[in-house]
Amino acid sequence: MGFLNLILLQPILNILLVLTNILFGNFGLGVIALTIIVRLILMPLTLVQLRSGKKQAETMNALKPKLEQVKKKYAKNPQKMQQETMKLYKEAGISPLGCLASPMLLSTIIQLPIYVALYRAIIQALAVTPQDFLGLSQNLYSWGLATHGLPVSGHFLWLNLAGRDPFFVLPILVGATQWISQKMMTPPTADPQQQSTNQMMQIMMPLMMAFMAYTFPSGLGLYFLVTSIIMIVIQYFIYGWSNLFAKAPAPEPGIKKDVKAEKMKATAKDAESATEGTKSKGSGLGGLLSRLKPKRNDQKKSD
């Protein structure tokens, strides 16, 4: 923690206070300026992250028909189905580890400590109690510009940045911008299961961010808001507005039918294997799935 403080928290905190001092002692403007600067510095990583996500989504969409074919073709041989699926992934350049091996994860891992440091810098700079101030003193450089404006004034527009927004405007703005950002990076899909997942994410994330913006000091809410707005601008250049206004296509009848048919088949097969016992348990993922199926069926029965 000490090392992270030294290389991340302290520089960010001191720059935040210098910016505040330069920007007429206005802490709100300081937070906005710092968020923009940090976002600009991290822009290459953000672009890698977004482009990688977009490319992966496109590749997956392109692969979908082939995957369906494999699914149908090897419905009775899960092991073979898995081998063929892996082969397709390999050919398309998708790692079997999914996002775990993608540049997306790497860039997220690099950015995460910076965001945590930025968050902590805002909290520390807004020191209210005397002991907060003692802690702040240990993270400041000897720069006159950093200490000149202390203690910072938390007043910005209608907000006290050290407290909650009494009018709920900031949390609502944070939730709304987060929803737009989320929607922009989610391509429409015909898969009903994917649709429900997307819908849940589009509701849960903005709600969570709005709740945090309400619970935390408004200084952090302001940081969330500026971050979301910057992300919307960046995403516009990657995805455009199309995802924002696109309506989710109605589930393809074929898919729906297939899903139903597969369910019926699986139920029949489960019932069969329940009576026959576990005659053919393969190895690997396919084998594992085949071993799990009877259990699921049992559970369903008990339900």
Partner 1 sequence: MLSKATKPRLSRILVLALLALAALATSGCVAAPSRGWSGVLVSDNVLYVGTLEGKIIALDLTTADFSERLAPGFKWNPQDVVGSLGSGGFLSCGQVSKPMGMYGTPVVKDGRVYIAAYDGNVLWVSTDGGSVSGSKFETDGAIVGGMVIDGDTLYVGSSDGRLYALDLNVLDIADSLKDGWPFKTGGEIWSTPVVNEGVVYVASADHNLYAIDTESGNEIWRFETEAAILSTPLVADGTVYIGGCDRKFYAIDAATEDERVAARNGAEPTTREAESIFEGAGNWFWTQALAYNGEIWVGCLDHNVYVLNAENVAEEVHEPYSTGGMVYSPPVLFPSEGLVVVGSQDGKIYAINADTKDVTVYVIDANTDEVVEPPEEPTKRLAPILAPMYADATSGILYFHAQDGTHTLYAFRLSTKEVLWSFRTDKISG
Give the CA dihedral 217, 218, 220, 226, nearest 10 degrees. 170
Q: Does 206 bind partner 1 (CB under 8 A)?
A: no
CB 194 within 8 A of CB 259: no
**Considering the complex, what minimum distance in angstroms separates the CB of residue 193 from partner 1?**
7
Stretch that binds partner 1, among 73-81, 141-149, 227-235, 245-253 (CB under 8 A): 141-149
Min dist. Cβ of residue 243 to partner 1 (A): 20
Q: Which stretch binds partner 1 (CB under 8 A): 82-90, 138-146, 227-235, 277-285?
A: 138-146
Alpha carbons 281 and 61: distance in angstroms, whole number: 32
Q: Is 197 near partner 1 (CB under 8 A)?
A: yes
Min separation Cβ 51 and partner 1, Å: 23
> Does 196 contact partner 1 by CB under 8 A?
yes
Where does residue 151 fall: left (phi above 0), alpha (psi -120 to 50 degrees), or beta otherwise?
beta
Which of 61, 193, 267, 280 touches partner 1 (CB under 8 A)?
193
Task: Enumerate residues 162-181 that contact partner 1 by CB under 8 A.
Answer: 162, 164
Does position 120 interact with partner 1 (CB under 8 A)? The reply is yes
Cα 276 to Cα 273, 279, 302: the distances in Å are: 5, 7, 19
CB 211 within 8 A of CB 16: no
Q: Is the peptide bond prior to 65 cis by the omega test (within 30 degrees of 0)?
A: no
Quick check: 145 and 23 in contact, CB under 8 A? no
Q: How far is the CB of 217 from partner 1 (least distance, A)?
A: 4
Tell which phi-psi region holds residue 55, choosing left (phi > 0), alpha (psi between -120 and 50) or beta: alpha
List, as one string, the DSSP characters of 98-140: GGGGSHHHHHHHHHHHHHHHHHHHHHHHT--SHHHHHHHHTT-
Binding segment for partner 1 (CB under 8 A), chosen from 72-80, 112-120, 238-246, 267-275, is 112-120
Selected binder of partner 1 within 77, 119, 202, 258 (CB under 8 A): 119
Q: Provide the minimum distance between the beta carbon of 132 and partner 1 in the complex, in angstroms, as a whole number.
A: 4
Among 61, 215, 242, 267, binds partner 1 (CB under 8 A): 215
Q: Please tell me what DSSP assigns to residue 156.
A: E
CB of 115 to partner 1, least distance (A): 9
Q: Contact region for partner 1 (CB under 8 A) — 22-30, 42-50, 77-85, 201-209?
A: 201-209
Residues 264-303 that bind partner 1 (CB under 8 A): 303
User: Residue 3 CB, nearest distance to partner 1 (Å)?
Assistant: 15
Burial 171-195 (b: 16+ CB within 10 A, else e): bebbbebbbbbbbbbbbebbbeebb
Total site size for partner 1, rule CB under 8 A? 39
The binding site for partner 1 (CB under 8 A) comprises: 116, 119-120, 123-124, 126-135, 137-138, 142, 144, 147-148, 150-151, 162, 164, 193, 196-197, 200-201, 204-205, 208, 212, 215-217, 220, 303
